[in-house]
Structure 1
Amino acid sequence: MTPPPGWYRDPKAPHLERWWDGTAWTEHRRAPEAPGGPVPPTPGGTGRARAVALTTAGAVLVAAIVTGAVFLGGDDGEPRARTGATATASDPAPGGAPTPAGETPSPSPTPSGPSADDPAVVEDPLNGITFPLLDGWVRPQHVTDEDIVMTTDGTYDCPGDGSLCRHGLVISRTITGTDEKSPEALAKEDISDAADDAFDRDSIGQRPYGGLESHHLVKSGPVAVAGRAGYFVRWRVTTAKGPGGYVQSLVFPSSVGTESPVVVRYVFEAGEDGPPLADMDRITKGIRSITDTDSGGGVGSSIGPTD
């Protein structure tokens, strides 16, 4: 199935044709429109043999166009024929050209940056951000709050009222109903509601931890989130039942739409079964804008608990 000597489209320079001498590529090239171009000598050939080879090559080229045959380079460097519409990463450029021996087609570029289809990323399309899905965390399943973007894996019987509890939640919401734009003011205002919702009474009035008894400030301050200036407040809470936990309100302006403030709430149970407190910082640092996957980090992005 080796093609005879002739001019074929050069896969490395599609605007040119390159001479195949029947066994290997030569360095002879020409413009495809050049009529009557010179026929490079074939080793050991005569003028009559070269003329026959050129005629045969032209017939093969026409046949290739009609039948859709594509010449591919084999492992031994010799072109081999293949037909069909399915292309692979090793196929040459369109035009039926053999792949030169010893040459490898350049790989196609691949996209970079997080994607919504990435199993290690969770997307919040409403607020235009993605979250890193760390080990021990899963996408929400069988939850009533549609703002929950991830939970720890598994459930257990709540120490107080209710049926099932989770050791950790991450919630993302758009702040509405206020003209306040300051991330600091909004975070300080939200933290009390976040603690009540997580550790005092749930949405149906039950007390999964027997009620919230006290709290103290762990840390607060500015933080860069998805390339935006934000602010966080973290509390340690004590509950009537169970080990208590941590709650954090993180506020920053959205990078999409009207740039409304976004609040991300972290709810972590304390104790050995709760998620590592450092996961709050890892998730915060990994938040990215959907429109700019390189965003994030910056001054104030390195935060850590001081409990």
Structure 2
Amino acid sequence: MSMTPPPGWYADPSAPPAQHVERWWDGSAWTEHRRAPEAPQMGQAQPGFGPPQAQAHAQVQAQTQVQPLPGASRGGRAKVVALTTAGVVLVASIVTGVVLLGEDDSDPQSGLPEPAVSQPVETATKTSPTPTTSAADPDPSTLVDQLNGITIPVPDGWEKADSTVGGDPTVRTPKTYDCPGEGSLCRHGTVYSRTSTGTDERSPEALARSDIKDAADRAYDEDKVGMEPFGGIARHEKVKEGNVAVGGRSGYLVRWRVHTEKGPGGYVQSLAFPSSRGSEALVIVRFAIDAGGEAPPLSDMDKITKGIRAVGDSDTGGGVGSSVGATP
């Protein structure tokens, strides 16, 4: 069984060694966060640590950083140094090939990216994770959250995320762009669902009001790896709040307009309602849509909210309480 490396910054297996780029590994998959390496210290990417591809990549970087050979006047010693250097590079090539070829493709729990093909060291630095082959999606217009017993519509211009940091069922806009602040890549729109845990709160109204700040911070303040993609939140104002029917159940939503230190900011919404499963624990659906630019229309928030259904029930939704107005 493969040992899954812990979350952390490791050498990016998709970047050439000369670029010295580090990429965030969340414990099960590579994320889109990248950075230039800092001075070596505990917890940072080093040869021999991280996912197998990152180990090989970092090892090649370390072993190929040799000093220039002395001039011809050094005679035999220069030849010895040259032969030694060539031997080190050859060993690095062999070790890297063994690491890449030694991965067990049959282990479904490893969760590590695999190279598309085995290649010599000179070209293997361009490898990328092997695409996952799966059956065609029977309904690309609907995301199913089996845990919470709901389905979430996927509007035109959005997509279902195959995998996310944290594992929350997610609908998002497919195009990425360079974040105006720290970090690597951002998206114009994201919607994800999760079960409310760590609280005994049974009121959708109270839960939505207490969750909205966390939803805003997650989207526009500090991300999961401690970066500020938008330079932090400067201020916000409430633009919508009230009762809403969600999948035939009484829910509550709160929506903020968030202004950020960098970039145009955007809109966030926390929607709370009882699950149709088990003890009917409260479900939170968080929305984030950028303001302006190439972002989807804000009306997609309402479209997704009204389209949420209980699993197996395509008729519920709307009804009394579905019309929500702003409150002071």
Normalising by structure 1, report the TM-score: 0.60
Q: Tell me which residue corresponds to 2:289.
A: 268
The Cα of 1:133 is off from its aligned counterpart by 1.0
Judge conservation of contact 1:167–1:269 (CA < 8 Å) in 2.
yes
Q: Give the alignment partner of residue 252 of structure 2, picking from 223, 231, 242.
A: 231
Q: Let me know the Cα RMSD of the aligned residues.
A: 1.6
AA partner of residue 177 (structure 1): G
Q: Tell me which residue corresponds to 1:199.
A: 220
- In the TM superposition, 1:22-171 aligns within 5 A as 117-141=138-162, 143-171=164-192
Structure of higher CA gyration radius? 1
Q: Tell me which residue corresponds to 2:262.
A: 241
Question: In 1, distance between residues paired with 2:187 and 2:150?
Answer: 24
Change (3 A) 1:290 1:198: same
> Paired residues, what number?
191
AA partner of residue 178 (structure 1): T
The Cα of 1:143 is off from its aligned counterpart by 3.3
Q: Tell me which residue corresponds to 1:301.
A: 322
Change (3 A) 1:187 1:235: same
Question: In 2, distance between residues paired with 1:305 and 1:121?
Answer: 28
Judge conservation of contact 1:277–1:305 (CA < 8 Å) in 2.
no
Give 3-state SS (helix, strand or coil) of 2:209's partner.
Answer: helix
Q: Tell me which residue corresponds to 2:196.
A: 175
Give 3-state SS (helix, strand or coil) of 1:252's partner.
Answer: strand
The Cα of 1:142 is off from its aligned counterpart by 5.5
Judge conservation of contact 1:124–1:149 (CA < 8 Å) in 2.
no
The Cα of 1:119 is off from its aligned counterpart by 2.1
Change (3 A) 1:142 1:256: closer
Q: Which has the higher helix share?
A: 2
Q: Tell me which residue corresponds to 2:308.
A: 287
Q: Which has the higher strand share?
A: 1
Question: In 1, distance between residues paired with 2:325 and 2:145?
Answer: 25
Question: In 1, distance between residues paired with 2:185 and 2:161?
Answer: 14
AA partner of residue 189 (structure 1): S
Judge conservation of contact 2:243–2:324 (CA < 8 Å) in 1.
no
Question: In 2, distance between residues paired with 1:197 and 1:272?
Answer: 21
Judge conservation of contact 1:285–1:302 (CA < 8 Å) in 2.
no
The Cα of 1:141 is off from its aligned counterpart by 4.2
Question: In 2, distance between residues paired with 1:156 and 1:178?
Answer: 36
Judge conservation of contact 1:281–1:302 (CA < 8 Å) in 2.
no
Question: In 1, distance between residues paired with 2:163 and 2:138?
Answer: 21
Change (3 A) 1:268 1:148: farther
Query: Tell me, which stretches of 5 or more residues in structure 2 are unaligned?
Result: 1-136
AA partner of residue 253 (structure 2): F
Give 3-state SS (helix, strand or coil) of 2:201's partner.
Answer: coil
Deviation >2 Å, runs of 4+: 302-306
Q: Tell me which residue corresponds to 1:257.
A: 278
Question: In 2, distance between residues paired with 1:161 and 1:226?
Answer: 38
Give 3-state SS (helix, strand or coil) of 1:205's partner.
Answer: coil
